[in-house]
Amino acid sequence: MSVHDLMESLNEEDFETIEYMASLNAGPRDIARKLAVDLRSFMIAWNTPDNAVRIAYFKGVKEIEMVKDAALLDRVRDGNVTAMQIVDKARKEQDFQDIKRQVFGLDT
């Protein structure tokens, strides 16, 4: 099955499944098996930056990250010291990644 055939065969419900399973930390191989599609074609689609499969996958990942971040923020507001430390560590890591991208020109 070609990637084009794969994309033609996927419907809106399949993309919702991709998003949902990604939010549960399922890998692309597990998702392909669940959808009963050709693994090779699915992996090629998943590895293509602007492909709808990849976009749906990372949409699911980001949506659950936002839910977790919101819950963490609530704990920070309640004065939870551990939550504050987690947020500080994540901020420092993000700052480092931003500087690394800037220095090495990875955003261009």
Domain shared by 7 and 60, yes or no: yes
Q: Is it the case that residue 107 has pLDDT exceeding 70?
A: no
Domain shared by 56 and 103, yes or no: no
Note the pTM of the prediction, 2 decimals.
0.77
Domain shared by 60 and 83, yes or no: no
| Domain extent at residue 95 | 78-108
The answer to whether position 73 is within a domain reads no
The answer to whether position 72 is within a domain reads no
Give the model confidence (pLDDT) of 7-40 as tens digits. 999 999 999 999 999 999 999 999 999 999 999 9
The answer to whether position 95 is within a domain reads yes
Token couple for 44: 């090629």
Query: Is residue 45 a contact partner of residue 32, using CB atoms and an 8 Å limit?
Result: no
Angle formed by the axes of helices 28-35 and 12-23, nearest 10°: 140
Give the model confidence (pLDDT) of 46-69 as tens digits. 999 999 999 999 999 999 999 999
Q: How many independent structural domains does the chain possess?
A: 2
Distance from first CA to last CA of the chain, Å, rounded? 34
Q: Which residues contact 18 (CB under 8 A, 6 or more apart)?
A: 31, 35, 53, 56, 57, 60
pLDDT interval class at 91 (50, 70, 90):
very high
